[in-house]
Amino acid sequence: MRYLGSRYVQYVNHVYRRSGTLWEGRYKSSLIDSEGYLLTCYRYIELNPVRAGMVENASSYRWSSYGAHALGQMNELIRDHACYLALGATDEIRHAAYQALFRHQMDEASLKAIRKSVNSGTALGSERFKDEIETTLARSVRLGTPGRRPRKKEVDEITRQCDLNLMRK
């Protein structure tokens, strides 16, 4: 990905006679529980230009999927998710329901939860969802608890005890 990204930047810089980077910082992502959080994440993303003061409303930002989801503007790049399709039986009902999601600003707790999840690379969803993902991946998708890391001697002792227990079995 790094190679592809650097080649693409070189291409864009050459074609458009510019210099510098296209993106700021590293790519970040997180797993989300689509049942409860997908539409909240849609709102978060589509309201980013509004929060940044770039546009007055989500429909004014040309790179947003808001036009397709709320206004029915055709866009071949967009594939509707099942959660979006569940908003209504017809396009008109879905568009109205999607517009209704944007009538109020997002609450601060939702904003913080999404930002924390993306910045830490942890899953965003219910505890049941996180449990399922941890079982499937056999790794933690939650933030660890802050505290002291064990010293190497402690880790070696724990490893030795585990090895002894395995040999006894």
Token output for 82: 């099942």
Distance CA 167, CA 105 (A): 59
Domain assignment present for residue 118? The answer is yes
The reply to whether 156 falls in a domain is no
169 found inside a domain: no
pLDDT in tens, 132-151: 999 998 888 888 777 666 56
Q: By residue range, what is the domain housing residue 119?
A: 29-123
Contact in structure between 91 and 72 (CB atoms under 8 Å): yes
Q: Which pLDDT score, from 0 to 100, does residue 151 have?
A: 66
> Is there a domain that residue 115 lies in?
yes
- 134 domain residue, yes or no: no
**CA nearest 78: which of 93, 67, 88?**
67
Whether 22 is covered by a domain: the verdict is no
- Inside any domain, residue 7: no
Question: pLDDT 10s digit of each residue in the chain, 169 long?
Answer: 888 888 998 999 999 888 888 877 777 888 999 988 999 999 999 999 999 999 999 999 999 999 999 999 999 999 999 999 999 999 999 999 999 999 988 999 999 999 999 999 899 999 999 999 999 988 888 887 776 665 666 656 666 676 666 666 5
Nearest to 95 by CA among 116, 74, 122, 120: 74
Length in residues, the chain: 169
Residue 63 covered by a domain: yes
Whole-structure pTM value: 0.71
The tokens for 92 are 């008109």
Model pLDDT, residue 25: 74
| Residue recorded with tokens 């429909």 | 59
Number of independent structural domains in the chain:
1
Q: What is the DSSP string of 100-149?
A: HHTSSPPPHHHHHHHHHHHHHT--BS-HHHHHHHHHHHTS--SPPPP-PP
